[in-house]
Structure 1
Amino acid sequence: MFVRAPALLVAFALLCSLSSIQAYANEGPLVEVVKVERNLVRDELVTFGSLRPDESVMIRPEIAGRIAQLHFREGQRIEAGALLVSLDDSIARAELAQAQANLNLAENNFNRAQMLFKRGASNAQALDEANAQQQASRASLALSQARLDKTRILAPYDGVLGLRQVSPGDYLSEGQDIVNLEVLDPLKVDFRIPQKAVSQIRLKQVIEISLDAYPGERFTGEIFAINPRLDEAGRSQAIRAHISNRDGRLSPGQFVRVSVILAERPNALVIPEEAIMPVGEQLLVNLVVEGKVELREVKLGKRLAGKVEVLEGLQGDETLISAGWQKVRAGASVRTKVVEQAP
C-alpha cells in the first residue's frame, strides 16, 4: 500500500504536466498586438528656400548736403514718418526766402498790370507777361520748398534699422547709403518647385518651414505670389509666401526647409511598418479576431517615420499583430500582449 503511493503520485504529476502542455499548445504562441490608430497624415512637397524681409530699403538722400543731425540709433525699431536725418538747411531756407520775395514782387506786378489793362493804359501782352512771371515765381517757390523738405529724411514705413554707414558732419552726395530699413513681420519665403509639381500649387496654400536654429519646430505660412513664368534653365517656378514673425525669432537670409501642404487627412488609419507582411505582390496584415489569426490584404499610402498609412483594407477598430506574425498562420490561436505605438 505504501509502496504504490509514490507511483500513483508520479503518474498524477505527469498527467497534470501533460494537461498543462496541451492547454498551452491550444492557446498558441505569444504575439504583440496593436490597435489601429487614427492620425493626421499630410501629403507634402518638400523643397528649400530662404527668408527675405517683407520690405527692404536703403535710406539715401535725394539731394547733396552735410549731415546736421542723426535722429536714430542702429537697430532701432521705428514707425513710418519718423525723422531719421536732418541735413544742413541754411542754403535751402535762404533760397526759399528769395523765392517768396520774388513771388510777392510778381504778384504786385500782375495786380498793377491788371489795373492798367482795365483802364486802357496797357496792352494784353504786358498783362500776359506779368501773369507768366507770377506763375514762374510760384513754381520757383514750390521748388525751393521741396528742396527744403528734402533736407529732412523720413522713414517710409514701420521697420527695424540696420547699421549706419555715415556719421554726423559727413557730406553726402545724392544717393549715398545712410542706413538700411527692414520690415521683419511678416517675412517672405522664396523657394522654387520643379515643373512637374506646378499644377499642385495654388495661392493661399499653407506651407511650413523648419530650420537648423530651431530643431523640431515648424513655422506656418501661406503662399501669396506665384511667378507665372518658369525658369528656362532649371525648369522651375518661383514661389513666394508670407510667414509671421511676431516674436522676431526668424531673420532674413536664413536658409529654410519648406514643406508645401498639398493635402491633409486628419483621420487617416496608421499602423507600424513591421506589421506589414509582403506575400508576392500582396501586402497583408495579421489581425486577431476572437483569439485567432485572420489575414487581411491592405493598400498602403504615405510612409511615415516607422509607420505607414492604410488606404484600404481596414476599418479602424481592428487589432493586428505587430511582432511575432512570422510564427503564426491563418486560423491559429494566439496569446496576445498589447503594446502602444510610438508617437
Structure 2
Amino acid sequence: MIARRRAWPLLLCGLLACPAFAANPPLVEVAEPQRALVRDELVTFGSLRSDESVTIRPEIEGRLASLHFKEGQQVKGGDLLVSLDDAIARAELDQARANLELAEKSYQRAQMLFKRGASNAQAQDEAQSQQQAARASLALAQARLDKTQIRAPYDGFLGLRQVSTGDYLSPGQDIVNLEVLDPLKVDFRVPQKAVAQVHVGQTVEISVDAYLGERFRGRIIALNPRLDEVGRSQAIRAQIGNADHRLKPGQFVKVSVILEERPDALLIPEEAVIPVGQQLFVAIVVDGKVERRQIRIGQRQRGKAEVREGLQGTEQVITAGWQKAGPGQEVRSVARGEL
C-alpha cells in the first residue's frame, strides 16, 4: 500500500513532462489593416434655401381678371402669370395717342407759320413743349397698361396662390411665390474657433432625414466677414446641385465641411489599440512571436481607428488575446472572428 502511494506522484510528474501535456502558446486573434477613405470633417447644422425666391405682387391696383398658371407649376422667365382688368388703362392709352397726334400736328403748323414769318419763336417753342408732354403721357399710359400683365421674372416653380379671379388687388399684395430649386443654397454657422479652417470653394456634404444614409455634395460660395456678436459664430453659405428637385427649401440639414480627405488611410479595429498611459500601442505577430509598436491615431469611426504613424499596412495586428502574450512570446494566431 505504501509503495502504491509513492508511485502516484512519480507517475503524474511523468505525464506532465510529456509533450501532450506541455503548456501550448496562447491563442490570439489577428487582422490585417485595411485601406479606406477617411475625412476630417467639421459637423454643424443648417437650412436649405432657394437659389432665388420672390413673391409675385402687382405694382398697381386693379381687379384680377385672370390667372394663367396652376399652383406648383414650373414656369419660364417671361411667362404670363396674372392679368389685371385693363379697360381703364387701354382707354388712357387711346386718349394719350390722340393727344399726341394733335400735339404733333400743332407743332408742324407752328413750324410752318414760323418759317413764313406769321408766328414768333415762342409759339413754336410752346407747340414743341406740348408735343413732348404728349409723348411722355403716351409712354406713361403704355407703362400702366403693361403693368396689368404680370410675368415671371425667371425660371422656377410656383407655390400656392393667395388670391382668386375677381379679387381687387392693392399694390404690393401677395399673389404667389416663385422659387428656383436648382441649385439650392445652404446657410449654416461655424463657431469662431473653426473660422480659420473654412474657406470659399471648400467641399461640403449635407444629409436630410428624408433620405437616410444619403449625402449630397456641394461647395462653399460665400462667408460673412462679420461674426455674430451674440453667438460668436460665422454665417456661411454653400451651394448644392438639385437637378432632380428632391431637396426642398426650408429643410433642416446636417452639414459636414470636408477639411481634409485621405483616400488611402490605414484602418485597424479599435480593440487592437493598447493604451499605456498617454501612449498608444498595437501588438503584432512577426514570425510567430509578439512584437509591440507605438502608433499615432487619427480618426475613429464605426469601430475602426486610423493609424497615422507606426504601421506599414502589411502587419498582422492582434485584436483579441494580446493581454495573454508579452513582447517576444510565441503565440498561435487565428483570423479575426474565429476565436
TM-score (normalizing by structure 1): 0.91
Hey, what's the Cα distance between the residues in 2 that align with 1:228 and 1:110?
60
Give per-residue Cα distances to partners, 1:58-103, cap 9 Å, x unaligned. Answer: 1110111111110011111111111101111111111111101111
Q: Show the counterpart of 2:49.
A: 52
In the superposition, relative to structure 1, how do residues 166 and 17 fare at CA in structure 2: closer, same or farther (>3 Å)? farther
Asked whether 1:270 is paired with 2:267, we answer yes
The offset of 1:17, in angstroms, is 9.6
**In structure 2, the residue corresponding to 1:47 is in which secondary structure?**
strand
Hey, what's the Cα distance between the residues in 1 that align with 2:111 and 2:91?
30
The offset of 1:15, in angstroms, is 7.4
Q: Show the counterpart of 1:108.
A: 105
Q: Give identity over the alignment, percent.
A: 69
Which of 31, 47, 50 aligns to 2:28? It is 31
1:90-169 to structure 2, matched below 5 A, reads 90-169=87-166
Runs of 4+ in 1 over 4 A off after TM superposition: 14-17
- Given residue 19 of structure 1, which amino acid in structure 2 is its aligned partner? P
Q: Show the counterpart of 1:326.
A: 323
In the superposition, relative to structure 1, how do residues 107 and 273 fare at CA in structure 2: closer, same or farther (>3 Å)? same
Asked whether 1:42 is paired with 2:50, we answer no
Hey, what's the Cα distance between the residues in 1 that align with 2:143 and 2:255?
47
Q: Show the counterpart of 2:251.
A: 254
Hey, what's the Cα distance between the residues in 2 that align with 1:337 and 1:256?
44
The offset of 1:331, in angstroms, is 1.0
Hey, what's the Cα distance between the residues in 2 that align with 1:103 and 1:86?
27
Which of 233, 237, 248 aligns to 1:236? It is 233
- Given residue 90 of structure 1, which amino acid in structure 2 is its aligned partner? A
Hey, what's the Cα distance between the residues in 1 that align with 2:84 and 2:249?
31
Give per-residue Cα distances to partners, 1:273-305, cap 9 Å, x unaligned. Answer: 110111222211001111111110001112212
Give per-residue Cα distances to partners, 1:197-221, cap 9 Å, x unaligned. Answer: 1111111111111122222111111
Hey, what's the Cα distance between the residues in 2 that align with 1:58 and 1:284?
62
Which of 220, 224, 243 aligns to 2:221? It is 224
The offset of 1:339, in angstroms, is 2.7
**In structure 1, the residue corresponding to 2:326 is in which secondary structure?**
coil
Give per-residue Cα distances to partners, 1:243-272, cap 9 Å, x unaligned. Answer: 112222211111111110111111111111
**In structure 2, the residue corresponding to 1:321 is in which secondary structure?**
strand
Asked whether 1:19 is paired with 2:19, we answer yes
Q: Show the counterpart of 1:8.
A: none
Asked whether 1:199 is paired with 2:196, we answer yes
Which of 81, 86, 89 aligns to 2:83? It is 86
- Given residue 179 of structure 2, which amino acid in structure 1 is its aligned partner? E
Q: Show the counterpart of 2:7.
A: none
Hey, what's the Cα distance between the residues in 2 that align with 1:336 and 1:221?
46
The offset of 1:171, in angstroms, is 0.9
Hey, what's the Cα distance between the residues in 2 that align with 1:280 and 1:103?
96
Give per-residue Cα distances to partners, 1:19-68, cap 9 Å, x unaligned. Answer: 2344x72xx22211111111111111111111111111111101111111
The alignment yields a C-alpha RMSD, in angstroms, of: 1.7
Hey, what's the Cα distance between the residues in 1 that align with 2:287 and 2:161?
77
- Range with bigger deviation, 255-264 or 273-282: 273-282
The offset of 1:16, in angstroms, is 12
Asked whether 1:175 is paired with 2:188, we answer no
Asked whether 1:290 is paired with 2:287, we answer yes
Hey, what's the Cα distance between the residues in 2 that align with 1:156 and 1:43?
42
- Given residue 124 of structure 2, which amino acid in structure 1 is its aligned partner? L
In the superposition, relative to structure 1, how do residues 117 and 21 fare at CA in structure 2: closer, same or farther (>3 Å)? farther
Asked if the contact 2:15–2:21 (Cα under 8 Å) also holds between the matched residues in 1, the reply is no
Asked whether 1:188 is paired with 2:153, we answer no
Give per-residue Cα distances to partners, 1:172-213, cap 9 Å, x unaligned. Answer: 111111111111111111101111111111111111111222
Q: Show the counterpart of 1:310.
A: 307
Hey, what's the Cα distance between the residues in 2 that align with 1:323 and 1:112?
110
Hey, what's the Cα distance between the residues in 1 that align with 2:209 and 2:311?
38
Hey, what's the Cα distance between the residues in 2 that align with 1:125 and 1:339?
108
Q: List alignment gaps of at least 5 residues for structure 2.
A: 1-10
Hey, what's the Cα distance between the residues in 2 that align with 1:280 and 1:92?
87
Hey, what's the Cα distance between the residues in 2 that align with 1:280 and 1:70?
75
Hey, what's the Cα distance between the residues in 2 that align with 1:19 and 1:232?
77
Aligned residue pair count:
325
**In structure 1, the residue corresponding to 2:172 is in which secondary structure?**
coil
Q: Show the counterpart of 1:6.
A: none
- Given residue 285 of structure 1, which amino acid in structure 2 is its aligned partner? V
TM-score (normalizing by structure 2): 0.92
In the superposition, relative to structure 1, how do residues 17 and 93 fare at CA in structure 2: closer, same or farther (>3 Å)? farther
